[in-house]
Amino acid sequence: MFSDLSANAQALRERLLQFFEAHIYPNEGRYREETDALRRSGDPWQTVGLIESLKPLAREAGLWNLFLPHAHEGQGGISNLDYAPLCEVMGRVSWSAEVFNCSAPDTGNMETLARYGTPVQKQQWLEPLLQGEIRSAFLMTEPAVASSDATNIQCTIRRDGDHYVLDGRKWFSSGAGSPHCRLFIVMGKTDPDAPRHAQQSMVLVPRDTPGVTVLRHLSVFGYDDAPHGHMEVVLDNVRVPVDHMLLGEGRGFEIAQGRLGPGRIHHCMRSIGAAERALEAMCDRLLARVAFGRPLAEQSVWHERIAESRCLIDQARLLTLQAAWKMDTVGNKAARAEIAMIKVVAPNMACRVVDWAIQAHGAAGVSQDFWLAEAYALQRTVRIVDGPDEVHRNAIARIELARRAQAGMSGTASQD
C-alpha cells in the first residue's frame, strides 16, 4: 500500500497552505464582489482581476502547474499520490485552482497535448497553456445524443484536401466563456463505418476559426460560473489544416480514455477538500448557535451527522489515495476500477456532507452570504461530469463479475 507523502509534497503542501492563509481566504469576499460587479455591468465574461493578480504570486511561490504528472521542461513531475493533498487544499475554495494554473479543463487539455501532441502542436498550444497565457475547452458532449456513451457523438470531421471540415453542435463546453479561451479540443467522427471505438478523432480548433459560434451559456442550478462558463458551441463548416489532428484519425476514443483518468481523480480530490471545509463550517456554526436553551452542537442528531461526515470523508480520502497510488504504480488502465470507485464515492460523499452543513446553517446556508449553496451545486455536477455515477458503477460491476468468471466460478478465492 501507499506510504507517507514525499518530503517534496509535504513542503509543497505547507507552502500551499500558507498561500491560502495569505492570499486565498482573505480574498473570498473580494472575488465575489468583483464577479458580482462584472455581472451588474452586463458582461460577466471578462477576466477577474483578482485571479490575474494572484497568478504571479503563485508562480513566485513555486506553486505553478503542480498537477503535471511528468516533468515537462523543468516543471512538474509530481506523482498522483503526492498531488492528491495539494488538489484537496484547492478544493476548499472553488475558484482557487486557476490561480495555480491547475484548473479543469486546462489541466486535462495540457496533459492531452503533452502526451499526444506533435512538437509543433506543443509549441503552439501547450507552451502558452503552461504559461497561463491562454485557456482552453474540451468539446465532447452534444445536446442531441446521450453523451455518457461517447460512441454516440455525431459531430463530423470530414477530410477535404489539406483540411478537415467540422460540423456539429456541442454543449457544456466548460471554460469556453473565458475571453482567454483560445483553443477547443473537439471530439467528432472521422469514419462512422469504422469499428465502434475507432470512429472518433480529436482535432485542435483555434477558437477564432470561421464557423465557430459560442451561442450561450448553460447555468448550473442558476449559477453562470462566469467567466469560465459552460457554453453551447456550434461548429458550422469549420476548416482546420490536417496537422491539427491529435495522434491520428480514429484515435479519439483512446485519447479520451487517457485524458479522463487523471481528470476524474482531480475532481474527487477537490470534492474531499470541499467536504472537509464544509464539516469545519458545520461544527463552527453548531458551536456558535443556541436553540431551545443549548448550543446546537449538543443535540445528538448533530453528533450523529458530524461523526458520519468524518467517517465518510476519511473513507473517501483513503480510497482516493489508493486510486492515486495504483495509477502511479500500475498505470491508469490497471487502476480503472479504483478510479471508477472514487468517481462514485467522492462526489456523493461531498453532496451529503455539504447538504448537512447547509442544514446546520439554516436559511443562511442556502444564501449567497455563505459558500455552501454554490459548493453543493458544484459537487452535484461532479456526479454527472466525466461520466455519471451509473456508468462508473456499471464498470465496477463488470470488473467484479469478470474477476469471478475468471476464477472459474469454482469457489477459488481471487484477490489482487
Count the neighbouring beta carbons within 10 Å of the beta carbon of residue 355. Answer: 17
d(CA 203, CA 381): 26
Show the cell assigned to 383: 456526479
Closer to ligand FAD at the Cβ: 104 or 269? 104
Q: Which of 122, 189, 230, 343 binds ligand FAD (CB under 6 A)?
A: 230
d(CA 258, CA 109): 11
User: Is 148 near ligand FAD (CB under 6 A)?
Assistant: yes
Closer to ligand FAD at the Cβ: 126 or 140? 140
Q: Which stretch, 73-81, 140-148, 178-186, 364-372, contacts ligand FAD (CB under 6 A)?
A: 140-148
User: Is 198 near ligand FAD (CB under 6 A)?
Assistant: no
User: Is 146 near ligand FAD (CB under 6 A)?
Assistant: yes
Bridge partners of 75, per DSSP, are 72
Which of 370, 379, 271 minimizes the C-alpha distance to 29? 370
Based on the number of CB atoms within 10 Å of its own CB, is 193 exposed (0-12), middle (13-18) or buried (19 or more)? Answer: exposed
Closer to ligand FAD at the Cβ: 12 or 150? 150
User: Is 172 near ligand FAD (CB under 6 A)?
Assistant: yes
Q: Which of 95, 138, 253, 376 binds ligand FAD (CB under 6 A)?
A: 138
Closer to ligand FAD at the Cβ: 147 or 271? 147
Q: Which stretch, 31-39, 143-151, 296-304, 367-375, contacts ligand FAD (CB under 6 A)?
A: 143-151
Q: Which of 27, 96, 101, 174 binds ligand FAD (CB under 6 A)?
A: 174
User: Is 151 near ligand FAD (CB under 6 A)?
Assistant: no
CA distances from 326 to 120, 270, 379 (A): 33, 19, 25
Which of 185, 175, 135, 125 minimizes the C-alpha distance to 155? 185
Question: For ligand FAD, how many residues bind (rule: CB under 6 A)?
Answer: 22
Q: Which of 147, 200, 271, 332 binds ligand FAD (CB under 6 A)?
A: 147
What is the closest distance, in whole angstroms, from the C-beta atom of residue 147 to ligand FAD in the complex? 4
Q: Residues, the chain, total?
A: 416
Closer to ligand FAD at the Cβ: 250 or 388? 388
Q: Which of 27, 96, 141, 309 binds ligand FAD (CB under 6 A)?
A: 141
Stretch 371-410: interaction string toward ligand FAD, x if CB under 6 A? ----------x--xxxxx-xx--x----------------
As a whole number of Å, the CA-based R_g of the chain is 22
Closer to ligand FAD at the Cβ: 251 or 305? 251
Q: Which stretch, 59-67, 169-177, 260-268, 358-366, contacts ligand FAD (CB under 6 A)?
A: 169-177
d(CA 375, CA 406): 42
Show the cell assigned to 403: 474477476
Closer to ligand FAD at the Cβ: 326 or 352? 352
- The answer to whether 135 and 178 are in contact (CB under 8 A) is yes
Closer to ligand FAD at the Cβ: 230 or 277? 230
Question: Which residues in the 86-125 window bind ligand FAD by CB under 6 A?
Answer: 105
Q: Which stretch, 14-22, 119-127, 137-145, 157-165, contacts ligand FAD (CB under 6 A)?
A: 137-145
What is the closest distance, in whole angstroms, from the C-beta atom of residue 170 to ligand FAD in the complex? 7
Q: Cis (ω within 30 of 0) for the bond into 227? A: yes
What is the closest distance, in whole angstroms, from the C-beta atom of residue 378 to ligand FAD in the complex? 8
Residue ranges in contact with ligand FAD by CB under 6 A: 105, 138-141, 146-148, 172-174, 220, 230, 381, 384-388, 390-391, 394
